[in-house]
Amino acid sequence: MSKLDKVKEDIAHLRAFLFLFAAGGFAIIGFLFSSFEQLIGIKIFFAIIGILICLVAVLAINERILNKIDELEDL
């Protein structure tokens, strides 16, 4: 496998995780909006923590994808 193919596969792999974390964040937000009145404080707290974790993961993965794209330009 050439280096170009490896970098392309890395980008595809990272993109899958990007969509996974983005979907997870949207699912948690939807859960909060749909059942906000029935939730107690600790569940709201953990939901917000989950959203923040998904947000940080999306930002970190996006940065790695951009670095891989820059690496593609060098090949």
CA 40 to chain centroid: 27
For residue range 10-68, list pLDDT tens digits in order. 999 999 999 999 999 999 999 999 988 888 889 899 999 999 999 999 999 999 999 99
Q: Count up the domains in the chain and report the number.
A: 1
Render 1-51 in DSSP notation, one character per residue: --HHHHHHHHHHHHHHHHHHHHHHHHHHHHHHHHSTTT--HHHHHHHHHHH
Confidence class for position 72, pLDDT limits 50, 70, 90: confident
- pTM (two decimals): 0.85
Q: In the predicted model, is pLDDT for residue 73 greater than 80?
A: yes
Q: Quote the domain boundaries for residue 47.
A: 3-74
Query: What is the distance between the alpha carbons of residues 45 and 49, in angstroms, rounded to a whole number?
Result: 6
Determine the pLDDT at residue 63: 97
